[in-house]
Amino acid sequence: MRFDLSFSFSFALAAFSLLSFAEFAESSATAPPDKRSPCKQFSTTFSSSSDVSSTEGDAPFVAISPEGTYAVTDAGLRLDLQKPQGTVTSDGETNNVLGQGATVNSTFIYGVTTFQIEAPSVAGVVVAGILIADDGDEIDVELVCGDPTHWQTNIFAPQKTDQETIFGVFGGVETFADKSDSLAGLHNYTVDWNEDRIIWSVDGKAKRTLKPSQTVVNGTEHYPTGLARISLGIWDASSPVGTSDWGKGPINWNKAPSTISATVRGVWLECSS
Ligand SMILES: *[C@@H]1O[C@H](CO)[C@@H](O)[C@H](O)[C@H]1NC(C)=O
Ligand SMILES: *[C@@H]1O[C@H](CO)[C@@H](O)[C@H](O)[C@H]1NC(C)=O
Ligand SMILES: *[C@@H]1O[C@H](CO)[C@@H](O)[C@H](O)[C@H]1NC(C)=O
Q: How far apart are CA 10 and CA 24, in angstroms?
A: 20
Annotated catalytic residues are 138, 142
Residue ranges of the domains in the chain?
Answer: 9-271
Average pLDDT over residues 58-85: 81
pLDDT digits (tens, 9 = 90+) for 123-145: 999 999 999 888 889 999 999 99
**Residue bearing the CA closest to ligand 1, atom 8:** 20
Report the range of poorest mean pLDDT among 172-181, 185-194, 227-236, 260-269: 227-236
User: What's the gap in Å between 205 CA and the centre of ligand 1?
Assistant: 30
Cα-Cα-Cα-Cα torsion 159, 152, 115, 69, nearest 10 degrees, comes to 90
Residue 105 Cβ inside 6 Å of ligand 1? The answer reads yes
Residue 17 Cβ inside 6 Å of ligand 3? The answer reads no
Gyration radius of the chain over CA positions: 18
pLDDT at residue 88 greater than cutoff 90: no
pLDDT at residue 4 greater than cutoff 80: no
Question: What is the per-residue burial (b if ≥16 Cβ within 10 Å, else e) of 4-29?
Answer: ebbbbbbebbeebbbbbbbbbbeeee
Quote the pTM value: 0.82
Q: What is the CATH number of domain 9-271?
A: 2.60.120.200
pLDDT at residue 114 greater than cutoff 60: yes
Residue 132 Cβ inside 6 Å of ligand 1? The answer reads yes
User: What's the gap in Å between 224 CA and the centre of ligand 2?
Assistant: 19
**Residue bearing the CA closest to ligand 2, atom 2:** 218
User: What's the gap in Å between 139 CA and the centre of ligand 2?
Assistant: 22
Average pLDDT over residues 82-97: 77
Task: Report which ligand 2 atom has the smallest distance to the Cα of 165.
Answer: 13
Out of 49-63, 101-115, 139-153, the most confident range is 139-153
Residue 22 Cβ inside 6 Å of ligand 1? The answer reads yes
